[in-house]
Chain A
Amino acid sequence: MSLWRLILSEIRFRKLNFLVGVSAVVVAVACLVAQVNLLEQHDRRTEKILAAKEKETAETMAGFEDEMRIITKNLGFNIRILPKDLNLVNFYAKDYADKYMPEEYVARLSNSRLVTINHLLPTLQQKVEWPERAITIVLAGTRGEVPIAAQNKKKPIQEVVSKGKIILGFQLHRLLTRERGKEVTSGDFVVLRGRTFVVHKLQSSRGDADDITAWIALEEAQEMLDKKGLINGMLALGCNCAAERLGQIRQEIAAVLPDTQVEEFETKATARAEARSRTAEQAKAAIERERKGRESLREEKEAFASILVPTVLAACAVWLGLMAFLNVLERRSEIGLLRALGLRSRQLLVLFLARAMLLGFTGAVIGYVAGKFVGTRLGENTGWSWSSPFEPPILLIAVLVGGPLISALACWLPALAAARQDPAIVLQQEST
Chain B
Amino acid sequence: MLEIQNITKSYPGPRGVVRALDGISLRVGPGEFVAVRGPSGSGKTTLLLVAGGMLHPDEGRVLAAGHDVYRLPSEARSRLRARAIGFVFQQFHLIPYLTVFENILAPVLAQPNSGARMRAQDLIARLGLEQRRDHRPSELSSGERQRCALARALLHKPGFVLADEPTGNLDDHNGAIVLDFLSEYAASGRALLLVTHEARAAERAHRVVQLEAVVRTP
Bound-state CA distance A202–B189 (Å) is 138
Residues of B within 8 A of A423 (CB): 54
Contact between chains at B109 and A1 (CB < 8 Å): yes
Q: Using a CB-CB cutoff of 8 Å, which residues 312-358 of chain A contact chain B?
A: 333-334, 336-347
Q: Do the beta carbons of A341 and B110 come within 8 Å of each other? A: yes
CA of A336 to CA of B92 in the docked complex: distance in angstroms? Answer: 12
Tell me, rounded to whole Å, the shortest Cβ–Cβ distance linking B28 to chain A.
Answer: 18
Q: Is the CB–CB distance between B97 and A338 below 8 Å?
A: no
B32 at the interface (CB under 8 A from A): no
B71-94 toward A: CB 8 Å interface, digit per residue (1/0)?
A: 000110011111100010111010
Chain B interface size, under 10 / 10 to 19 / 20 to 34 / 35 or more:
35 or more
A427 to B50, CA, bound (A): 12
* CB of B13 to closest CB in A, whole Å: 13
CA of A341 to CA of B112 in the docked complex: distance in angstroms? 12
Q: Write the A248-262 contact mask toward B (1 if CB under 8 angstroms, else 0).
A: 000000000000000
Interface 9-mer from A10-18, A104-112, A164-172, A367-375 = A10-18
Stretch of B100-108, B121-129, B201-209 contacting A (4+ beta carbons < 8 Å): B100-108
Minimum CB–CB distance for A93 against chain B, Å: 114
- Quote the shortest CB–CB distance from A219 to chain B (angstroms): 113
Once bound together, how far apart are the Cα atoms of A430 and B95, in whole Å? 14
Contacts of B55 in A (CB 8 A): 424
What B residues does A333 contact at CB under 8 A?
A: 91, 93
Q: Is the CB of B109 within 8 A of A2?
A: yes
A12-B97, A424-B55, A427-B54 as given contacts; A342 in contact with B102, CB under 8 Å: no
Known A1-B105, A343-B109, A423-B54; contact A334-B49, beta-carbon cutoff 8 A: no
Q: In this assembly, does A9 line the interface, its C-beta being within 8 Å of a C-beta of chain B? A: yes
How near does chain B come to A335, taking the closest CB pair, in angstroms? Answer: 10
Whose C-beta in chain A lies nearest to the C-beta of B49? Answer: A424
B105 contact set on A, CB distance < 8 A: 1
Asked whether B74 lies within 8 Å of A341 as measured between CB atoms, the reply is: no
Pairwise interchain contact B83-A342, C-beta atoms closer than 8 A: yes
CB distance from A266 to the nearest CB of B (A): 95
In the bound complex, residues from chain B placing their C-beta under 8 Å from that of A2 are 109
In the bound complex, do residue B49 and residue A338 qualify as a contact, i.e. CB atoms below 8 Å apart?
no
- The B-contacting residues of A in range 374-432, CB under 8 angstroms, are 423-424, 427-428, 430-431
Q: How many residues of A contact B (CB 8 A)?
A: 30
- Judge whether B144 is part of the interface by a CB distance below 8 angstroms: no
A347/B54 in contact, CB under 8 A? no
A6 within 8 A of B: yes
> Is the beta-carbon distance between B109 and A340 smaller than 8 angstroms?
no
Indicate whether B39 reaches chain A with its CB closer than 8 angstroms.
Answer: no
A3 CB within 8 Å of chain B? yes
Q: B142 at the A/B interface (Cβ < 8 Å)?
A: no
Given contacts A12-B97, A340-B54, A343-B78, contact A427 B89 (CB under 8 A): yes
A339 partner, pick from B54, B89, B90, B95, beta carbons under 8 A: B54
- B91 contact set on A, CB distance < 8 A: 333, 430-431
Q: Mark B51-62, 1 if CB is under 8 A from A, else 0.
A: 010110000000
B110 touches A342 (CB 8 A): yes
**Chain A residues within 8 Å of B79, by CB:** 342, 344
CB of B111 closer than 8 Å to a CB of A? yes
Bound form: Cα–Cα A117–B98 in Å: 94
| Chain B residues, CB < 8 A from A342 | 78-83, 107, 110-111
Decide if B93 touches A430 in the complex (CB within 8 Å). yes
* Residues on A with beta carbons closer than 8 Å to the beta carbon of B90: 431
A427 to B165 alpha-carbon distance, docked (Å): 13
Which of the listed residues A5, A336, A340, A431 has the most CB atoms from chain B within 10 Å of its own CB? A340
Judge whether A343 and B110 touch: CB under 8 Å. Answer: yes
- Nearest A residue (CB) for B81: A342
With contacts A9-B102, A428-B49 taken as known, whether A345 is within 8 angstroms of B95 at the C-beta atoms is: no
A340 touches B81 (CB 8 A): yes
Contacts known (A338-B106, A338-B110, A341-B81); A6 close to B98, Cβ less than 8 A = yes
B174 CB within 8 Å of chain A: no
Contact B110 A347 (CB under 8 A): yes
Q: With A342-B82, A345-B74, A423-B54 in contact, is A431–B164 under 8 Å at CB?
A: yes
User: Complex: how many Å from CA A336 to CA B164?
Assistant: 15
| B93 and A347 form a contact (CB under 8 A) | no
Complex Cα spacing A430 to B111, Å: 24
A11 to chain B, nearest CB (A): 9
B159 smallest CB distance to A (angstroms): 13
| Cβ contact of B89, chosen from A9, A345, A431, cutoff 8 A | A431
B18 CB, nearest partner CB in chain A, Å: 12
Within the complex, what minimum Cβ distance (angstroms) separates B20 from chain A?
10
Given contacts A1-B102, A9-B98, A10-B97, contact A341 B46 (CB under 8 A): no
- In-complex Cβ contact of B109 among A346, A347, A424 (8 A): A347
Q: Are A339 and B93 in contact (CB under 8 A)?
A: no
Would you list the 6 A-B pairs with minimal beta carbon distance, nearest first? A342-B82, A13-B97, A342-B110, A424-B55, A1-B105, A337-B93
- What are 5 A-B interface contacts by the 8 Å CB criterion? A1-B109, A1-B116, A5-B102, A341-B107, A347-B110
6 additional A-B residue pairs with CB within 8 Å, beyond A1-B109, A333-B91, A428-B45: A1-B105, A6-B98, A340-B52, A341-B106, A341-B152, A342-B110
